[in-house]
Structure 1
Amino acid sequence: MSCLGIHFSLSDSEVDHLLRIGDDGRRLHYFRESIEPLYVAEHPERIAESGTAWDAMHRALAEGTLSGEGRYPLNHVVLGGTSLYAGDDFVMRLKARNQVQDVARVLPAMTHSEFHRRYRAIPTTDHAFIVNNEEFDETWRRFEGVRSFWLRAAEEGRYVLFTANGRIEPSSSL
Structure 2
Amino acid sequence: MCDGQESADPSCRPGPLPDFPDAPTNPLSLAVLGGAPVGSDPDLLIWLKTPREVADIAAALATLEEDSFRQRYRAIPPDDYGMVPNEGDLAYTAMALQQMQTFYVHAATTGESVLFVAYQ
**Deviation above 2 Å: which 4+ runs of structure 1?**
1-4, 65-71, 85-88, 126-130
- Partner of 2:32, secondary structure, is coil
Q: How many angstroms apart in 2 are the aligned matches of 1:81 and 1:101?
A: 13
Q: Does 1:74 align with 2:28?
A: yes
Q: Which residue of structure 2 aligns with residue 139 of structure 1?
A: 93
Tell me which residue corresponds to 2:78.
Answer: 124
Counterpart in the other structure of 2:110: 156
Q: Is the 8 A contact 1:124 1:130 kept in 2?
A: yes
Task: Say whether the 8 Å CA contact 2:44–2:118 is kept in structure 1.
Answer: yes
Q: Does the CA-based 8 Å contact 1:68-1:80 persist in structure 2?
A: no
Query: 1:50-103 CA deviation, whole Å, 9 max, x = no partner?
Result: xx89x7xxxxxxxxx543433511000101111113333221111111111111
Number of equivalenced pairs = 109
Q: Which runs of 5+ in 1 are unaligned?
A: 5-51, 56-64, 168-174
**Equivalent pairs: percent with the same residue?**
28
Tell me which amino acid in the other structure corresponds to 1:103: I
Amino acid at match of 2:30: H
Distance 1:135 1:67 in 2: 23
Residue in 1 that maps onto 2:55: 101
Match 1:110 to one of 52, 59, 64? 64
Q: Hey, what does 1:20 align to over in structure 2?
A: none
Instruction: For 2:98, give the aligned amino acid.
Output: E
Shift of 1:107: 1.3
**Structure 2 runs not aligned, ≥5 long:** none
How far did residue 155 of structure 1 move?
0.1
